[in-house]
Amino acid sequence: MLLNARVLDGSARTLGARLDAYREDDTFYIDIDLPGVDPATIDITVDGRVLTVRAERRRPDGGTRRLVVAERPMGTVTRQVHLSERLDTDRLEARYDNGVLTLIIPVLERPARRIPVSAGTAAS
């Protein structure tokens, strides 16, 4: 398994930061839905193997605007993804397009490790 993901949100309603994760050849992708988010509010950090994405969706300030119905969730969403050690987070790239944040992470290919066997007498 290349990741384990969870949503962290203190409110009763979540922003809906759902994700898809997939691998194509030697690259791993994570697409996170962040509709209506200003890209300047997106914060991505990697601490060890934990990738954290934070973003904020704000209601526009309108001088004479009077809100009649408010169903769209606003506020901060935090999404944490626990990544496999087989992903090269030093070369992680991020793109935001049409409300979707795409994280692009190269997969580290490691050859099988040979375990040497020493000859000797068995303990009795």
pLDDT class of 9 with cuts at 50, 70, 90: very low
Written as six digits, the tokens of 86 are 């087989």
Of residues 97 and 122, more confidence is placed in 97
The domain that contains 25 carries what CATH number?
2.60.40.790
What is the C-alpha separation between 77 and 101, in angstroms, rounded?
13
90, part of any domain: yes
Q: Is the pLDDT of residue 68 over 80?
A: yes
Instruction: Name the residue range of residue 47's domain.
Output: 3-59+72-106
pLDDT at 15: 46
Mean pLDDT of 24-40: 94
Q: Is there a domain that residue 121 lies in?
A: no
Note whether residue 88 is domain-resident. Answer: yes
Residue 70: predicted pLDDT: 82
| % of residues, the chain, pLDDT over 70 | 83
User: Tell me, what's the pLDDT at 106?
Assistant: 95
Residue 27 located in a structural domain: yes
83 CB neighbour count, 10 Å cutoff: 23
Alpha-carbon span 117 to 14, nearest angstrom: 54
Residue 118 lies in a domain: no
Does residue 76 lie in a domain region? Answer: yes
pTM of the model: 0.75
- On whether residue 122 sits in a domain, the answer given is no
Query: Rounded to an integer, what distance in angstroms lies between the CA atom of residue 47 and that of residue 111?
Result: 26
Residue 28 pLDDT > 90: yes
Mean pLDDT, the chain, integer: 84
| pLDDT, average across residues 13-21 | 71
Whether residue 77 lies inside any domain: the answer is yes
Number of domains in the chain: 1
